[in-house]
Structure 1
Amino acid sequence: MIHALVAGGGIGGLATALALARTGHRVTVLERQDAFTDIGAGIQIAPNGFHALNRLGVGRAVRDRAVLVDELRLMDATTGRELVALPVGGRYRQRFGDPYAVVHRRDLHTPLLTACRAIDAVDLVAGAGVRRYRQDAHRVTATTADGRTFSGDLLVGADGIRSTVRAQLLGDGPPRPCGHTIYRTLVPMERVPRWLRRNAVTLWAGPGWHVVHYPVAGGSCLNLAAVLDDGAAEAVSGRPAERAAVLRRFADPGPVPGALLRLGEDWRRWVLCDRDPVDVWTRGRVTLTGDAAHPMLQYAAQGACQALEDAVVLGDLLADAPTTDVPQRLERYNAARRERTGRVQRLSREMGARLYHPAGEDARARDALLRPLDEDALHHRVAWLHGAPVRADARGGGG
């Protein structure tokens, strides 16, 4: 039996713990916060995410909490026209085997946490943020911010985009602000006019900005996010933003985005960050998953899904591993995942630039590219991402 240490008790960390424990290993999860909670707003889960959740045994629990949307819509905020719509109902679900859904973060985190708590082999330790580690040929020891030490056969850094495990492992500095500011809020659905309600993920694309909205929390709230390409260069995370300031920054958004923005009250602000893809995020008995390994912008809506895939692949590769084989198995995990996750990182950047924020001639070129795409063509284009099986085969991109 392997004893794994997991730094981080968010979605990726709990999924990793669950994947390892379900294959017979012991896991200690070290969470920086004083409680195992997950803040934030909405998350989109494509079928590849549900494939992973099914493998972890929590797919049904997440689906029961989710809103299964009918379509993904891209709208031109300037003209009010629909540019393209990707149906994700019957034919899509039949092709990819699972739905496309939206959830509040807690509705994904809670089933993972409940499943971990039900397994004796998982030890959840709050208030234990990993500050540093040391390793030798046989063991790895993590030291927390308050001086405690925990030893195991491997350490998984699932501690997010500002990972302390990555900082020591790769030493590649802080993540890169991409120059986009995002404002997020949740609006009780009873405050949303009926003409603005739709069972869809809808994105309004403007020149240098966009607004996206969809129902979460069983349809009781509208998740609302507004993104501005403002050249922001300083990382900001979850800072409160005044409603009047948000409305000033989106001064001429058009009738529908304007009506949506005026609904928001309790706004918070982030500056979006990511990193360039790297080939190596494993050394010895230490590896990374999720945003610690391959942080990506939100524009492909795949951050959580890729972390879930990481967990399943890592669990598969360590399922029958003796402790002596851990370094080699971690290298295989890294090799299995780097091509696919790197492709998603690059896609996420491209979508922000080419689909959501172009103006003038670039916007007309986007419209011409999207106009001929019918339902079959759209399903074909997303098949590599939404329908890829979760497997530990490096030749298949690990996805």
Structure 2
Amino acid sequence: MSNISDVIVVGGGIGGLAAALSVHKNTGKSISVFEQAPEFGEVGAGIQLAPNALEVLEYLGVKEEVLKYAVLPKRLVLKDVYTAKEFASLDLGEDFQKKFGQPYIVLHRSDLHRVLFEACRNYENISFFNNQIIQSAEQHDNIVAIANQYGETFTAEAVIGADGIKSKIRKRFSNDDPVNSTYVAYRGTIPIEEISGDVDMDDVIMWIGPNLHMVQYPVRRGKLYNQVVVFKSYDATKENWGNPEEMEKRFEGAHPKVKNALKFINRQFRWPMYDRNPIENWSEGNITLLGDAAHPMLQYLAQGAVQALEDCYVLGEQLKIHDSYEVAFKKYQEIRIPRSAMVQTSARNWGEIIHAEDKITIMLRDALFEKHTPKDYHVVDFLYGIFNKYKAEKFINV
């Protein structure tokens, strides 16, 4: 058994690294980040970061570095996957930034992860451990011990479980299983010169249709084009459900621009889409959860990583206010559970709306879309305006 640091963070993804930065900023304590992969890095493709994420990145001191790799789109756009009709848009320009205090950006996940990792490496009191599949966390008195796949144990004053949707630390709090949405995603980026010239470099576009959608936007300062294809599987009980052949069938009859985009989708990697139901508690003593370990959600609102960043902000502030980890963790979850549960549920609901197949539901949805104006920001205030709410209600000291 080895006393490794003051705080252990299990999971070296975006949430885990941001948590390490937040704990360092607010406490100055030593932190060890345990990651199961052989090296620190991020898989996947593009990521959307709304103003509530930029608030946290600025708070952590990495916003300007992140912006070096980002694209600031002009609009969020919803289009019909079959006709290319534009249903609705949200203007992301000057008025949007004035309303929410930050821009809306898109970038490659690996660029965000690298910035966070390099920021952590700047501090001597943040250390890293790879090839560590942490199996459990147990508290004895004021010491928390984690155990890896080899039976080795490491101790610290506190543990933050940021080990994703398949979190082993979460098992302390819930025996629940991930919920299969029966949707699958194919995603990836391609050099911008490889895609035809009819793509729109200024917008984040979501093409929607019954039980499917496709998202497109540029990343890495416009050098790459990110595409995500999502569809509901005919039979999610089969071993190879949601395969590329099924994707082709699901998108039959799609608009030529969509059909052309499908040619560039990487078919080797598929992401079955799962979330979990909200839970009422994710802290006990000096152990707590963060990010997807606490509240994994479907990607439809582009808030998964953003909610992890919000967690880091609130957690750091509570650790600054309270000397006791237990008190800080309880206050942190008191603030975060209602908020993250609402976003989880909203993501599911938004998925039902954009994937609607019932004709009456589609008609009502489209009628509401038609009434929306590009600068009607109240529809997203519940997501992006949260930091004004925190400050106004004095939930945390800022």
TM-score range, shorter chain: over 0.9
In the alignment, the residues of structure 2 paired with residue 284 and residue 231 of structure 1 have an alpha-carbon distance, to the nearest angstrom, of 44
- In the TM superposition, what is the alpha-carbon distance from 1:252 to its structure 2 partner? 2.3
Relative to structure 2, which stretch is displaced further, 106-115 or 247-256? 247-256
In the alignment, the residues of structure 2 paired with residue 57 and residue 39 of structure 1 have an alpha-carbon distance, to the nearest angstrom, of 24
- In the TM superposition, what is the alpha-carbon distance from 1:129 to its structure 2 partner? 2.0
5 Å matches for 1:81-96?
81-96=85-100
2:150 to 139, 146, 149: 146
| 1:37 alignment partner in structure 2 | 41
| 1:296 alignment partner in structure 2 | 297
2:194 to 191, 195, 199: 191
**Is contact 2:76-2:91 (8 Å) kept?**
yes
1:360 and 2:359 aligned: yes
**What SS class does the counterpart of residue 211 from structure 1 fall into?**
strand
1:206 and 2:205 aligned: no
Task: Evaluate the alpha carbon distance shift between residue 190 and residue 9 of structure 1 in structure 2; reply closer, same or farther with a 3 A threshold.
Answer: same
| 2:344 alignment partner in structure 1 | 345
For 2:133, give the aligned amino acid: G
1:181 to 181, 184, 197: 184
1:228 and 2:231 aligned: yes
For 1:369, give the aligned amino acid: L
1:262 and 2:263 aligned: yes
Relative to structure 2, which stretch is displaced further, 128-137 or 16-25? 128-137
1:317 and 2:307 aligned: no
In the alignment, the residues of structure 1 paired with residue 20 and residue 95 of structure 2 have an alpha-carbon distance, to the nearest angstrom, of 34
1:69 and 2:73 aligned: yes
In the alignment, the residues of structure 2 paired with residue 46 and residue 76 of structure 1 have an alpha-carbon distance, to the nearest angstrom, of 23
**What SS class does the counterpart of residue 54 from structure 2 fall into?**
helix
| 1:282 alignment partner in structure 2 | 283
**Is contact 1:143-1:150 (8 Å) kept?**
yes
5 Å matches for 1:241-260?
246-260=247-261
In the alignment, the residues of structure 2 paired with residue 226 and residue 356 of structure 1 have an alpha-carbon distance, to the nearest angstrom, of 13
In the alignment, the residues of structure 1 paired with residue 389 and residue 21 of structure 2 have an alpha-carbon distance, to the nearest angstrom, of 16
In the alignment, the residues of structure 2 paired with residue 231 and residue 51 of structure 1 have an alpha-carbon distance, to the nearest angstrom, of 40
For 1:256, give the aligned amino acid: K
- In the TM superposition, what is the alpha-carbon distance from 1:265 to its structure 2 partner? 4.2
| 2:119 alignment partner in structure 1 | 115
In the alignment, the residues of structure 2 paired with residue 391 and residue 143 of structure 1 have an alpha-carbon distance, to the nearest angstrom, of 39
In the alignment, the residues of structure 2 paired with residue 304 and residue 236 of structure 1 have an alpha-carbon distance, to the nearest angstrom, of 28
Could you tell me the percent identity over the aligned residues? 34
Task: Evaluate the alpha carbon distance shift between residue 265 and residue 309 of structure 1 in structure 2; reply closer, same or farther with a 3 A threshold.
Answer: closer
Task: Evaluate the alpha carbon distance shift between residue 154 and residue 72 of structure 1 in structure 2; reply closer, same or farther with a 3 A threshold.
Answer: same
User: Structure 1, residues 232-270: CA drift from partner, whole Å, max 9, x if none?
Assistant: 546999x9965x664344222222211211232454211
- In the TM superposition, what is the alpha-carbon distance from 1:148 to its structure 2 partner? 2.1
- In the TM superposition, what is the alpha-carbon distance from 1:147 to its structure 2 partner? 2.3
**Is contact 2:46-2:219 (8 Å) kept?**
yes
5 Å matches for 1:127-142?
127-142=131-146
| 2:129 alignment partner in structure 1 | 125
**Is contact 1:313-1:390 (8 Å) kept?**
no
- In the TM superposition, what is the alpha-carbon distance from 1:384 to its structure 2 partner? 2.2
Aligned length, in residue pairs:
392
User: Structure 1, residues 8-43: CA drift from partner, whole Å, max 9, x if none?
Assistant: 000000000010011211111111111111111111
- TM-score normalised by structure 2 residue count: 0.92
**Is contact 1:141-1:149 (8 Å) kept?**
yes
In the alignment, the residues of structure 2 paired with residue 232 and residue 396 of structure 1 have an alpha-carbon distance, to the nearest angstrom, of 48
- In the TM superposition, what is the alpha-carbon distance from 1:391 to its structure 2 partner? 8.3
- In the TM superposition, what is the alpha-carbon distance from 1:396 to its structure 2 partner? 7.1
| 1:18 alignment partner in structure 2 | 21
| 1:219 alignment partner in structure 2 | 222
For 1:174, give the aligned amino acid: D
**Is contact 1:17-1:116 (8 Å) kept?**
yes
**Is contact 1:48-1:386 (8 Å) kept?**
yes
| 1:383 alignment partner in structure 2 | 381
In the alignment, the residues of structure 2 paired with residue 190 and residue 105 of structure 1 have an alpha-carbon distance, to the nearest angstrom, of 21
CA RMSD of aligned residues (A): 2.4
- In the TM superposition, what is the alpha-carbon distance from 1:319 to its structure 2 partner? 1.6
1:372 and 2:371 aligned: yes
Q: Which runs of 4+ in 1 moved over 3 A?
A: 231-237, 239-242, 356-359, 390-399
Task: Evaluate the alpha carbon distance shift between residue 293 and residue 236 of structure 1 in structure 2; reply closer, same or farther with a 3 A threshold.
Answer: farther
- In the TM superposition, what is the alpha-carbon distance from 1:185 to its structure 2 partner? 2.4
Task: Evaluate the alpha carbon distance shift between residue 131 and residue 392 of structure 1 in structure 2; reply closer, same or farther with a 3 A threshold.
Answer: farther
In the alignment, the residues of structure 2 paired with residue 235 and residue 327 of structure 1 have an alpha-carbon distance, to the nearest angstrom, of 44
5 Å matches for 1:49-60?
49-60=53-64
- TM-score normalised by structure 1 residue count: 0.92
